[in-house]
Amino acid sequence: MVELELLDGLAIITIDRPQARNAIDPGTMGELEKALDTVGDAKALALTGAGDKAFVSGGDLKELARLRTEAEAADMALRMRALCDRIASFPGPVMAALNGHAFGGGAEVAVAADIRIAAEDIRIAFNQTKLAIVPAWGGAERLARLMGPGRALLLAGTGRVLDAAEAERLGLVDLVLPRAGFPEAWREVARALATAQAGEIKNLTTRARPPREAAAAFARLWVSDEHWDAAERVMSRGK
């Protein structure tokens, strides 16, 4: 089951499959597609899992074991890769709230986001090698861009499991928060990212832009009512 909440410019997608530790099967892929079709003009997107055990525990092996031919396996991989690409290309900030462990395909979903916020007791691993396979949902390429090819090869090649603190030290996780109050804390960050300004900052930080284009983005925000309302509040404090 995939749940979608739309709250004041923030879209929250929750994978809720407790019987499978939020693992992804073809049905989940279909629901993810529908959720992404429905986010509309949300300014920010957050992805999380239900409960406190797993963010996404990877692909649902019991369901995916039905795939027995190379063509079937390739079709599944391409379908989920396309979903991760859609997450990565969302125009506003995308946050993965790692409420629990993220293994294999779950780690691939996590690195499709711009920002990863983790509860202090989670673990994360690109451990597909334990199944004698490789990341197929775009995770290897994204991991290499995030951490460099050598470190990506080391992590994905060995399947090493990282705790939250080490993942933060290596740059795989951006922020670690206490388990107590984690749902409220990550939602507060997500709400702060659901602004037009944060969307423009994403554009500035994720791709090179000509100076005039960056200046134009600034100018559009400068003349907005939202900017001047905020400016008036700041200036009034000094009176």
What is the structure's pLDDT at 214? 61
Distance CA 183, CA 193 (A): 16
Alpha-carbon distance 208 to 213, whole Å? Answer: 10
Ranges for all domains in the chain classified under CATH 3.90.226.10: 2-193
Q: What is the pLDDT of residue 147?
A: 94
* 12 φ/ψ angles, rounded to the nearest 5 degrees: -120, 120
- Quick check: 45 pLDDT over 90? yes
CATH of domain 2-193: 3.90.226.10
Mean pLDDT, residues 199-215: 73
Query: Residue 172 pLDDT more than 80?
Result: yes
**102 has a pLDDT exceeding 80:** yes
Read off the pTM.
0.88
Where is average pLDDT lowest: 7-21, 61-75, 204-218? 204-218
- What's the pLDDT band for 175 if we cut at 50, 70, 90? very high
Mean pLDDT of all residues in 48-53: 96
Of 24-38, 71-85, 147-161, 196-210, the poorest mean pLDDT is in 196-210
Range of weakest confidence among 72-86, 114-128, 175-189, 201-215: 201-215
pLDDT above 60: residue 234: yes
Return the pLDDT at 215.
Answer: 67
pLDDT for res 26: 95
164 contacts 121 by C-beta, under 8 angstroms: yes
